[in-house]
Structure 1
């Protein structure tokens, strides 16, 4: 593998920003900080004026392969992720077929080994009747088990209370939940269908998938996790009320119950449905500006532990359908970091907090082996950004296979210039170097 020397970078790592060099050898970080010009390098990158961050670890993406490759593929979406500074991802099981057996799960790992430009892991999908499969999971090789409490696009709904209880009692790995109360949603939908028929406007999405549906389901799994001592991670918190279900005072290493915020819930609010319509239709729904501010506060004060994307692309044709027919979800991996850096420019979050919530904390929470920090001996996953190089999002520069973005027309002040994945310079000023694939994530867990 090529030796890489990054010179004169502003290194953002472990709560500090320092100027110095970083040296990569044999895929690992060999040295960090100070003048490292004495080291021999095959590639030297002048990072003067730029900031070097650990690569983002996205704990929730939908790359749609196998079975839904008209929407997205592991290759196209991992490429978009790398261009967005995401060096590792954890992908969801609601593909076709659904990844609810260990054999089907390993098939996805085989695909990624051939096609993924970023490092990868895959969740096993929980169902009402696959608890024996869940028990067989090796905690060192799989990121977690995904439980859908609420109906979403192509999901495997766990709606049997006894099944849910068994999963929380017996899962040997972290349980990640999509928490929405399905009955509340169905009741709301029925009411609005009586009023609007088939012509429900997208702005009513948060009135159908309400704060109460989210809070009720999140509280259910939090209470269950406390009962059984489960390792629980509640995904995409979308309401201010949910934030207070989580502990902000415990060190992350000691938490058994954690939470995630997604970039779209930190950026958009219900006012944006008027202009964006179905293109910001996600499950759970984007809600009020007050919810948005409370979620951000939860990120900053420690109630919410990580930031992710819930990248979930659909075709332009699918998203252009009427509300009831348009699927929920959209592409985000390419624009998550630029959006967070825009929030930094607007004094909403610090660079150190961005790194903590997108890299450090994800590595700690999932107990990922030697990733998430810029430390000697760690895998060389990192992203170099220019904070003062504005660019506009357009369909011409969207890399996800679906070809659109909810950020179209947005000018971001910061640009990603280089992304290094497991010691390989995978992206450089708009050019991809695809000679090396990403690696399967490993987990240092007590088995």
Structure 2
């Protein structure tokens, strides 16, 4: 059994920063204390003097494109980029090809991940208008959640039959995660701009097409249905200030039935960035105004918004540089999400303790993930070592995504992820990857 002793770390956990040591035995954290001595010559001692140790980030929304879209990304390539960015566990979405809407296809994805993933993994099962029987077969202890596209779907994954929706909300025991944008509103808006500009609609109109109204209308309907049926609802990637008023901070997260997420891009960019970034920052839901961004920050910090995620969704650069109607929405983010949030810490926008709460603790609580998301004795040793004063610039040569580009290219971050441990194994060390496959399938305490 491998034994690793991390010495002299600033340990960030549950709202505190403790200067101390962490003893890892096998896959687990054995001891946390002010000072721990190596009791054997076989103990590997790692000195973290001057560095911060965080729980591994849990990203609750990624699109790793496998199977079927592997020209853009694979579980292998994107999970490798994730661990370089301090993300030790991910939950991947069902809109692959084929879609993950049957138990058979779900198990195929688990099989791929078991052989190729560098990070711990789980998948969401996809709902459609006609797969209720399959949904009811899903074991809540083994699968992260049920994903419903209430807008912006691919294939046949738009769930737009009100009777089907109510039945799903009423019958499933799974947490329901939703993408909320009203399709009728978006289509009406799109036709106005298409008639005026043709295919080459200026990207600045993207947030007018995928508007505040489209987001709020869909989110409010989903929340009303959850309240009516008692379903456990998690609303993905809020993009408007108006939507934040739909959520509460009056009870602890573990008691909430309705929760919310915000993504890195909606906390970083605004509609003014379309002038320089163009379709590279075309996402669904759209990046909106500075006022929306500030209201999202306010709701994040006062706990109406519970989780920060990436919605990592890579496309090739050739696809992204198409005209508006042909440029797909989405972008790669897992490698740069934690550095971006630590940059906000340096700008005094958020504390490092709050970053850990929103990116590590809360996803574990919200999805009831077993023994992850915290630095605790008896928990899996998923740990990230961060140097808060080691600047680096995002360049093509250090981008690890298969698609080879990033919306952060040219950005200098003050903080650097120097080491990542997964299940007690050092898998990433100063820009070098270990050959050890330490990743495990996530399990859920439900």
TM-score normalised to structure 2 length: 0.99
Give CA deviations for 1:29-80 in whole Å, capped at 9, x if unaligned.
Answer: 0011211123445422110000000000000000000000000000000000
Hey, what does 2:236 align to over in structure 1? Answer: 235
Hey, what does 1:357 align to over in structure 2? Answer: 358
Hey, what does 2:29 align to over in structure 1? Answer: 29
Hey, what does 1:81 align to over in structure 2? Answer: 82
Q: What are the within-5 Å matches in structure 2 for residues 280-299 of structure 1?
A: 280-299=281-300
2 CA distance for matches of 1:437 and 1:7?
A: 22
2 CA distance for matches of 1:428 and 1:119?
A: 18
Q: Which stretch shifts more, 50-59 or 143-152?
A: 143-152
Runs of at least 5 residues in structure 2 that lack an aligned partner in the other structure: none
Hey, what does 1:12 align to over in structure 2? Answer: 12
TM-score normalised to structure 1 length: 0.98
Instruction: Give the conservation status (yes or no) of the 8 Å contact 2:55–2:373.
Output: yes
**SS at the partner of 2:110?**
helix
Q: What are the within-5 Å matches in structure 2 for residues 356-395 of structure 1?
A: 356-395=357-396
Cα RMSD (Å): 0.9
Deviation at 1:387, TM superposition (A): 0.2
2 CA distance for matches of 1:117 and 1:17?
A: 28
Hey, what does 2:267 align to over in structure 1? Answer: 266
Instruction: Give the conservation status (yes or no) of the 8 Å contact 2:55–2:375.
Output: yes
Hey, what does 2:253 align to over in structure 1? Answer: 252
2 CA distance for matches of 1:434 and 1:313?
A: 25
1 CA distance for matches of 2:274 and 2:8?
A: 43
**SS at the partner of 2:267?**
helix
2 CA distance for matches of 1:161 and 1:48?
A: 57
Deviation at 1:198, TM superposition (A): 1.6
Instruction: Give the conservation status (yes or no) of the 8 Å contact 1:380–1:423.
Output: yes
Give CA deviations for 1:92-134 in whole Å, capped at 9, x if unaligned.
Answer: 0000000000110010000000000000000000000111111
2 CA distance for matches of 1:106 and 1:389?
A: 41
**SS at the partner of 1:123?**
strand
**SS at the partner of 1:31?**
strand
Runs of at least 5 residues in structure 1 that lack an aligned partner in the other structure: none
Hey, what does 1:115 align to over in structure 2? Answer: 116
Give CA deviations for 1:129-177 in whole Å, capped at 9, x if unaligned.
Answer: 1111111111110000000010245561111111111111111110000
Give CA deviations for 1:362-384 in whole Å, capped at 9, x if unaligned.
Answer: 11110001111000000010100
2 CA distance for matches of 1:394 and 1:199?
A: 29
Give CA deviations for 1:365-412 in whole Å, capped at 9, x if unaligned.
Answer: 100011110000000101000000000001111001000000000000
Hey, what does 1:331 align to over in structure 2? Answer: 332
**CA 1:39–1:284 in 2, change beyond 3 Å: closer, same or farther?**
farther
1 CA distance for matches of 2:183 and 2:441?
A: 34
Instruction: Give the conservation status (yes or no) of the 8 Å contact 1:113–1:437.
Output: no
Give CA deviations for 1:202-223 in whole Å, capped at 9, x if unaligned.
Answer: 1111010001100000000000
Say whether 1:137 aligns with 2:170: no
**SS at the partner of 1:166?**
helix
Give CA deviations for 1:250-299 in whole Å, capped at 9, x if unaligned.
Answer: 11111000000000000000000000011000000000011001101111
Deviation at 1:195, TM superposition (A): 1.0
